[in-house]
Structure 1
Amino acid sequence: MAKETSPARRDLRLDFFRGLANWAIFLDHIPNNAVAWVTTRNYGFSDAADVFVFISGYTAAFIYARKMVAQGYLAGTALLIRRVWQLYVAHILLFVFYAVAIGYVAQNYGHSHLLDEFNVAGLIEQPVATLAQGLLLKFKPLNLDVLPLYIVLMAGFAPFLILMMRAPDAALAASIMVYVLARHFGSNFPAHPSGGWYFNPLAWQLLFTMGAWAALGGAARAQALARSRTVLIASVAFVVFAFVVTIGARFGLSTALSPVFDVLSEKTNLAPYRIVHFLALAVFVVHLVPRDWKGLDSKLARPVIVCGQRSLEVFCIGIFLSFVGHFILEMYSDRLITQIGVSVGGVVLMTAVALYRTWSRTLDARAPKASVTPVAIGSKGENE
């Protein structure tokens, strides 16, 4: 058998930053929310989605490469497909609850504009056809784009992971080629009722693959480069450049900057400058937050790490709460104090869900193994 790569002990920084990404996605999805200014979206080309996809690729490779090494390719692939099914079920449940909540508010509070704003009008006009397209991941209400992207990337990951375990650099090169060709020819997955996916899987697979490549030895080989003074200076310069362009476009300081920002930070097809900006921020992480950073063991970091570890549940509840927050700000009050309350309350609820799920998963391990005595067939107990 060819040489295979299996990653070492889990890096808590992944959970920490994925937890922060989940919080940021929640905050960014609440329109006109001043608290969202704390997220990286407002200060550079990349945002929480880039972090989420990269770390998802890293953790997928970390987990399933070890399973393939320990249990074989077939078993590892089966476990990966089981995870894809879990993601799909979670998306469908979120889709249903999300659409019902939007429809309920639109109907009972006289805000029919929400049906168009959140792209669920098709469910009212053509419910069967639209639901069918939703099951195929072609139809997605507003803000429900990340999870279908994750599902598709994971669904096609098994054969790619096998290649990456044997030849990680060749697998990364193939991913780059797919990315370049997709951008050149404008290829994308079809969406319903028209157009393509907001997150083009053919482009975003590169960031996912880069995470997997990093997990299977790429990060260790790139350590020397990431820690060099030249790379650090270049990263600082690029982050400052991105900050100036983004702030200028956000505040309308120069109308000439707006089209520049749109090109550099284009999200659907993952603009190259988004990737460069993300990598520049990763260099900061390598320098400022080492793997053995004591802060990762602190009580302050614990809620963030737990939200990263229970990422699927936290992401789903965060998307739903973002609509609740939007509803509260639009229907009752959009004052700054309300925005802060909605934002903090949502983060607290997301953390509570993560802590509950973490605790509930320990109950099976704690439960004593009770000895059950079978009841004889035809006994008094059975007849009763």
Structure 2
Amino acid sequence: MLNGRDQRIDFFRGLALIFIFWDHIPHNPLAELTVRNFGFSDAAEIFVFLAGYAAVLAYGKIARRDGYLIASVKILRRAWVLYVVHIFLLAVLMGIVFFANSHVETRDLVQEMGLQYFLSNPQQALTDELLLRFKPNLMDPLPLYILLLLGLPLVLPMLLRKARYVVMASFVVYCLAPSWNLAAQEGGVWFFNPMAWQLLFVLGGAAAMYGQQQKITPPRPLSKQPVFIAALLYLLITGLVALSWRWPQVHDAWMPLWLGEYLYPISKTNLSPVRLLHFLALAYVVAKCVPHSEWLNTWCARQSCRMGRYSLEVFCLGVILAPLADMLNALGGDSLVIKLFSALTGVGIMAALAMWLDWNKRLGKAL
């Protein structure tokens, strides 16, 4: 713990930011190490769940101390800041992609990033940007987070009192999500359907409340906990399925036809139940197996924790760095050294930003 703050939350938020950055770089060898390769969910689920956890923990404390009105005002002010950041970040991203595209002759980065819509219809694209409907690649998580924050004041009072009722209502909305999404550019829909992904945000908030209310009891051996065993088995089975995707012939040979028809496609947009269950199993197993201990004081863990504490700033920097790393990789051809250099250097820059922000915050308090 750090001033009552669970450092594991910051650590995994930082790790999710690294995974998101690596996953956003095409043909990045380090992306083979991210969580998406070993199951049905990926770093997006981690990010949204922990965002809900951190938001309810922070604004719940403000609500208890200063009242719901003050907490709601601060939530809405934070959502406004995120909205302004989204507009600015999109402008910067477009500038970087256009610059990178002028230096890469083998690929059309503008098309790959989903920016062709802006070139063909700039006036409508600007309007859609203000309405959060224009979301090129890499930009989907931020509008989702803005919308989830805007809805938090409506459920925060009940989350602090009877979280299970909020979770039940959220689950009903999730079940309706496949037929209910928001409009995006060119007649499309949001890649992250807010009606589905709100469930993870709410579950994160409910977990924060449960963690505060949980009574300290002697732990039972993990081998005698049926839920833990079931979650672990599910992770092992889905991990094997995900690994089999690398060898389609092997996958088709042992996957029963009826099961494949039920399982696929595994929708990320609507947060398919098997994705949701995989993340919940992963979160449960990690919570049981990863203790509060000295490992969080190691150098690498401290860097990840610091990145997690400044997740917004680090995420935005990662969005900017990803196309630059892609450009560097494209200019370097198939060089493995260049690909590793761009991926690791990007993480180093993100960690340096978090370090600077932490130092600047401590300096402000000292003054």
CA contact (8 A) 1:99 1:141 kept: no
Greater CA deviation, 108-117 or 138-147? Answer: 108-117
1:210 aligns with 2:169: no
1:18 aligns with 2:13: yes
CA contact (8 A) 1:321 1:346 kept: yes
CA contact (8 A) 1:62 1:216 kept: yes
- Any stretches of 5+ residues in structure 1 without a counterpart? 1-7, 368-384
- SS across alignment from 1:365: helix
1:193 aligns with 2:190: no
Query: Partners of 2:263 and 2:336 in 1: how far apart?
Result: 28
- Larger RCO (CA under 8 A, 6+ residues apart): 2
How do 1:1-384 and structure 2 match up within 5 A?
9-107=4-102, 109-110=104-105, 113-183=108-178, 186-217=179-210, 221=214, 229-252=225-248, 253-255=250-252, 263=264, 265-290=266-291, 292-367=292-367
Paired AA for residue 266 in structure 2: S
Deviation of residue 221 (structure 1)?
Answer: 5.0
CA contact (8 A) 2:158 2:166 kept: yes
- SS across alignment from 2:185: coil
Greater CA deviation, 274-283 or 191-200? Answer: 274-283
Deviation of residue 129 (structure 1)?
Answer: 1.3
Indicate the percent of aligned positions where both proteins have the same amino acid.
37
Paired AA for residue 152 in structure 2: F
1:57–1:171 CA distance, 2 compared to 1 (3 A): same
Q: Which whole-Å deviations, capped at 9, do the CAs of 1:244-277 have from their partners, x for residues lacking one? A: 1111113323247595697373210001111211
Deviation of residue 204 (structure 1)?
Answer: 0.2
1:329–1:23 CA distance, 2 compared to 1 (3 A): same
- Any stretches of 5+ residues in structure 2 without a counterpart? none
Query: Partners of 2:221 and 2:281 in 1: how far apart?
Result: 9
Q: Which whole-Å deviations, capped at 9, do the CAs of 1:102-160 have from their partners, x for residues lacking one? A: 12222455567222111111211221210110111101111211111111101111111
TM score, norm. by length of structure 1: 0.88
Q: Which whole-Å deviations, capped at 9, do the CAs of 1:282-331 have from their partners, x for residues lacking one? A: 222123212x2211122231100001001001111111111111111112
CA contact (8 A) 1:24 1:39 kept: yes
- SS across alignment from 2:22: helix
- SS across alignment from 2:132: coil
Query: Partners of 1:49 and 1:356 in 2: how far apart?
Result: 25
TM score, norm. by length of structure 2: 0.91
Query: Partners of 2:69 and 2:315 in 1: how far apart?
Result: 29
Query: Partners of 2:295 and 2:148 in 1: how far apart?
Result: 32
Deviation of residue 220 (structure 1)?
Answer: 5.4
Deviation of residue 37 (structure 1)?
Answer: 0.9
CA contact (8 A) 1:203 1:269 kept: yes
1:119–1:262 CA distance, 2 compared to 1 (3 A): farther
- SS across alignment from 1:362: helix
1:139–1:262 CA distance, 2 compared to 1 (3 A): farther
The corresponding residue for 1:381 is none
Deviation of residue 55 (structure 1)?
Answer: 0.3
Superposition RMSD in Å: 2.2
Task: Tell me the number of residue pairs that the alignment of Structure 1 and Structure 2 aligns.
Answer: 357
- SS across alignment from 1:199: coil
Deviation of residue 229 (structure 1)?
Answer: 2.2
Q: Quick check: which has more Rg, 1 or 2?
A: 1
CA contact (8 A) 1:249 1:255 kept: no
